Amino acid sequence: MPSDPPGESPELPDELARLPHGRHGLPPEFVERNQRQRLLASLVRALADSGYNAATITGIAEGAGVTTRTFYKYFDSVEACYLSAFDTGAELLGERLVEAWATEEDWPARVRSALAAALDFFAGAPELASLLLTEPFVAGPDVAARYRAELARLVPYLREGRVLSPEGPSFPETTERGLIGSLASRIGRKVTAGEAAELPSLLADLTQFTLTPYLGVQAAKKAAAKRSR
């Protein structure tokens, strides 16, 4: 997704002035700056307040302090606006994951580190967590397909672990997709239950679950408990 050039000023500075500031937990990509980002931020709030089904163009525009006409300048539907927010959020998360992955050298430690980063990310921005993890299913198959494609991008990282198991080469093709889908579902359920803040406490269990097929129960448990550097 092309990012907005810095300094691209909204045409309606008086509306910008009325913008609510510093929404808790939302990364800067979702905070004001320009009309487009304000619309995305407004969408995220609307989803958090009443879910995808209740989101309307009028509501999103109002929340961003712009007219529906302005909305249509950037997006032609709620779904388009949603997808843009989804992509922005997924990109942010992806950056954090890659960063966390690179801080470690051993594969098990890398998995743990990336999982820790994901859990912290979602715990710090529950609204974004539900946008990324639960709303895609509400929004329908087209959006779910995008979610599925994002998860698939993580597969190669996990697949690296196959070399650590003698049976690795014969694991079913679907193994990594199943593991990643499972992690996302479990995290999503916590978020839906309003327990996003507790996500970091799942780190050891989720790491162990992910590593076990590759390392076996005991070694996975050890690797999951290891503190990162």
The number of angstroms, rounded, from the C-alpha of 188 to the middle of its chain's C-alpha atoms is 10
Choices 8-16, 94-102, 153-161, 167-175 (CB under 8 A): range interacting with other proteins: 167-175
Q: Closest by alpha carbon to 203, among 84, 111, 106, 91?
A: 111
Q: Which is nearer to other proteins, 6 or 166 (CB)?
A: 166
Count of CB atoms within 10 A of residue 165's CB?
14
Instruction: Name which of residues 190 to 209 contact other proteins (CB under 8 A).
Output: 205-206, 208-209
* Using rule CB under 8 A, residue 177 touches other proteins: yes
Count of CB atoms within 10 A of residue 147's CB?
20
Q: Which is nearer to other proteins, 29 or 195 (CB)?
A: 195
Count of CB atoms within 10 A of residue 111's CB?
27
From candidates 103, 137, 160, 226, binder to other proteins by CB under 8 A: 137
Q: Which is nearer to other proteins, 16 or 183 (CB)?
A: 183
* Using rule CB under 8 A, residue 148 touches other proteins: yes
H helix intervals, the chain: 13-17, 35-50, 57-64, 68-74, 78-102, 107-124, 126-133, 135-139, 141-152, 155-159, 175-192, 203-215, 217-225
Q: Which residue type, as a one-letter code, is found at position 186?
A: R
CB of 34 to other proteins, least distance (A): 30
From candidates 189, 194, 198, 201, binder to other proteins by CB under 8 A: 189
* Using rule CB under 8 A, residue 20 touches other proteins: no
Rounded-to-integer distance, Cα 75 and Cα 204, Å? 41
Let me know: does 92 contact 29? Beta carbons within 8 Å: yes
Q: Which is nearer to other proteins, 17 or 193 (CB)?
A: 193
Q: Which is nearer to other proteins, 47 or 123 (CB)?
A: 47
User: How many angstroms separate the Cα of 170 from the Cα of each of 105, 173, 175, 221?
Assistant: 25, 8, 10, 23
Choices 68-76, 93-101, 122-130, 138-146 (CB under 8 A): range interacting with other proteins: 138-146
Choices 14-22, 62-70, 111-119, 176-184 (CB under 8 A): range interacting with other proteins: 176-184
Q: Which residue type, as a one-letter code, is found at position 181?
A: G
Among all chains, which residue has been given the structure tokens 């967590």? 129
Instruction: Name which of residues 44 to 103 contact other proteins (CB under 8 A).
Output: 51-53
Let me know: does 31 contact 92? Beta carbons within 8 Å: no
Choices 60-68, 90-98, 118-126, 130-138 (CB under 8 A): range interacting with other proteins: 130-138
Binding residues vs other proteins (CB under 8 A):
51-53, 134, 137-138, 140-141, 144-145, 148, 165-167, 171-175, 177-182, 184-186, 189, 205-206, 208-209, 212-221
